[in-house]
Amino acid sequence: MLNREELEKLIKEQGLVTDYINLDIQLTPNGFDLTVGNVYGFDTAGALDFSNKERIVPEGKEILPQKEKPGDKFGWWNLKKGAYKIRTNEIVNIPNDLIAISFPRTSLLRMGAFTQNGVWDAGFKGKSEFILVVENPNGLRLKQNARITQLIFERINKTDKGYNGIYKS
């Protein structure tokens, strides 16, 4: 697992993560906090098969944050109990000798919500998307750019064939 110093070097020298808000705050002792860029509610069903030829990924309907005062720079999402798709502000650029795994921030867990994520494969480049599940029956107030999930990075034996799926930008 890479530590803060190793991550900072990879971010600054190789662009491991770009479009972050504040590197010093988002770097943790052993990971990197991703922030909320967009929130989507699901409005259609998805479909998943073996070959992905019949895959249907619901785009969802974007939920816009609401500013509490006209002069506010950032707004809030007032989310009811349910599942939402989150798109991050950050772009990750994972080389072929790393993978990333994500865990919800414990602050989010203490509020009755969590993220569900897959593995960020070696060779993946792009904004990240994952699921936010709000279990708190009273909902969750989520501010724009909130740190929501932590990526940890692991070294692997370098692969000659990195991620080449539809989510790569």
CATH value at residue 16: 2.70.40.10
Q: Per the domain annotation, does 141 fall within a domain? A: yes
Nearest Cα neighbor of 32 from 77, 2, 65, 74 is 2
pLDDT string in tens for the chain (169-residue length): 999 999 999 999 999 999 999 999 999 999 999 999 999 999 999 999 998 899 888 889 999 999 999 999 999 999 999 999 999 999 999 999 999 999 999 999 999 999 999 999 999 999 999 999 999 999 999 999 999 999 999 999 887 766 566 555 5
Alpha-carbon distance values, 50 to 47, 54, 55, 58 (Å): 11, 9, 9, 17
Asked if the structure places residue 88 within a domain, the reply is: yes
Which single residue is written with the structure tokens 């865990």? 103
Sign of CA dihedral 48, 125, 116, 146: negative
pLDDT computed for residue 84 by the predictor: 98
Domain that holds residue 21: 4-43+58-155
User: pTM to 2 decimals?
Assistant: 0.91
Tell me how many domains the chain contains: 1
**Could you say which DSSP state residue 66 is in?**
B
Q: Is residue 138 part of a domain?
A: yes
Is 148 inside a domain boundary? yes
Residues in the chain: 169
